[in-house]
Chain A
Amino acid sequence: MNMIDQYEDKLPKSIIAKLRENIPKGTSDSKIKQILENTVKEYNEARVEAGECVGVISAESIGEPGTQMTLNTFHFAGVAEMNVTMGLPRIIEILDGRENLQTPMMEIYLKKPYSEGKNIRDLALSIKETTLKEIAFEFLLNMAQGVIEIKLNSEKMKELGITDVFLSKAISSQIKGYSTRTTKDSLILMSKGKEESLNEIYRNKEKIKDMYIKGVKGISQVLPVKRLDEYIIITAGSNLVEILQLPEVDKERTITNNIFEIANVLGVEAARQAIINEVFKVIESQGLNVDMRHIMLVADIICSSGLVKGITRYGVVSEKSSVLARASFETPIKHIINAALVGEVDYLNSVVENVMLNQPIPAGTGLPNLVTKVKK
């Protein structure tokens, strides 16, 4: 079996592992060598040739099954009452590199003992963002005195573990110019100093309705679920930075479906992996069959500049050095005029511009050039 070790730099790890598994014990060394030589030969023949237009192949391979995809934006992903963008809209969302998703989502894994279901409901509730209007029955305005009275739902407050003191502190830190006072099951905000106009009081009332009180900002819905042997929390809305700081959360497996957030918090490489996972998840859920390698290529392109750049005229395409290549994608006139203004030079190093000029393209058999040695 030592023979196989010598081939570690000639064959990928997965093939080596398969060979190790499948060559029966007691095979003679010469036979193993023959097997290995043949494997290397087959492997090299199966590889993509240098200069092959892999991008075009990827585009066709993802595009064609894409036409079969449902246009359904919403679909119930098996979990009760939680919408998830799926199908074509989701693919477009990922590949365009959009920062604001239609349905941001997180899967929060927990450390033991929480993953076994301990206090799972309370924990989930404590993560959810609570705004003032959720714990209030009604908001009353006293125009004459410039007073806003908030009737509180004390039952709900108890459930969420919010005390009067905590509440008035949270509110007074976020709104200036009001003094807070608590009475039995209501909170009174009184305007300090000068009399405010009716409009302003009304505007403040609307503002405090959406005031953040407790929980993690951005998490609008929580749902504890049992997946395999452990309990996890699925959320609508996403805030990876904050969630990862909670002590109960498993920092190694918790993920979000927002690629940008992943790039910010975990780096480009993590974002690349997330793109692959997310796109593949959609394609799989639609019952389509696209080779992983095509998606990997797309993810590599999106992440090649160190940032997540969508495949749009503002993202990847704007990085191209050739004017003609950029102009051939979208908004040609803008690009040509700008290039003319600054006197841009096109070195015709890539494919599109050479197609336009009816020249051999630097791909496939057009890639190699003749080089002669000049005699001195």
Chain B
Amino acid sequence: MTKKKINIQHHILIPKHIKLSEKEKETLLDKYNITLQQLPKILKNDSAIQNLDVKPEDVIKIIRKSPTAGESIFYRVVTNV
């Protein structure tokens, strides 16, 4: 598929993506007592994080709108392909 530049950030299907700082990343891993590999993944070239300037091993915090909890927070680790 040819990828042309489209601004899709405000699409209703896309929840908010935030990049965590190194410190926040540490506290997250400590809180749940997990390693980075155990987090769900997101590809580096995923359209939703193109303007966040991410590199592999960064953690993305995703704030989803949830019909059951109102708002739920999810984390994904950036990976290469």
Q: What's the nearest-Cβ distance from chain A to residue B54, in Å?
A: 12
- Pick the most buried of A244, A268, A273: most chain B CB atoms within 10 A of its CB: A268
The 0/1 profile, CB within 8 Å of A marked 1, for residues 69-81 of chain B is 1111000100100
Tell me if A160 is interfacial: C-beta within 8 Å of chain B: no
Residue of B nearest to A270 (CB): B13
**Cβ distance B69 to chain A, nearest Cβ, rounded Å:** 4
Which residue on A lies nearest to B47, using beta carbons?
A267
Report how far A14 CA is from B72 CA in the complex, Å. 10
User: Do A265 and B70 touch across chains, with their CB atoms under 8 A apart?
Assistant: no
Interface size of A as a range? 20 to 34
The dominant DSSP class at the B interface is loop
- Point out the residue from B7, B8, B15, B68 that lies within 8 Å of A273, measured CB to CB: B15
> How far is B7's CA from A127's CA once the two chains are assembled, in angstroms?
20
Identify the closest chain B residue to A261 (Cβ).
B1
Q: A245 contacts the other chain (Cβ, under 8 Å)? A: yes
Q: Are B13 and A245 in contact (CB under 8 A)?
A: no
Interface residues of A in 1-55 (CB under 8 A from B): 12-17
**With A267-B49, A306-B79 in contact, do A251 and B11 touch (Cβ < 8 Å)?**
yes
A266 to chain B, nearest CB (A): 6
Q: Are A269 and B7 in contact (CB under 8 A)?
A: no
Complex contacts, B67 vs chain A, CB 8 Å: 292
A192-220 residues with Cβ-Cβ distance < 8 A to B are: none
Give the docked Cα–Cα distance between A269 and B14 (Å): 6
Question: Residue A152 at the B interface, CB < 8 A?
Answer: no
Give chain A nearest CB distance to B44 CB in angstroms: 9
CB pair A306–B8 under 8 Å, yes or no, is no
Picked from A251, A292, A306, the residue with its CB within 8 Å of the CB of B43 is A306
**Are A306 and B41 interface neighbours, CB within 8 A?**
yes
26 residue pairs of the A-B complex, CB under 8 angstroms, read A13-B69, A14-B69, A14-B70, A17-B70, A241-B4, A245-B6, A251-B6, A252-B10, A255-B12, A255-B13, A264-B47, A265-B6, A266-B14, A267-B14, A267-B48, A268-B43, A268-B76, A269-B62, A270-B13, A270-B14, A270-B48, A273-B64, A274-B13, A296-B66, A306-B40, A306-B41
Which 5 interchain pairs have the tightest Cβ spacing? A13-B70, A267-B48, A14-B70, A270-B13, A12-B69
Interface residues of A (CB under 8 A from B): 12-17, 241, 244-245, 251-253, 255, 262, 264-270, 273-274, 292-293, 296, 300, 303-307
Residues of B within 8 A of A (CB): 1-4, 6-8, 10-15, 17, 40-43, 46-49, 62, 64, 66-72, 76, 79
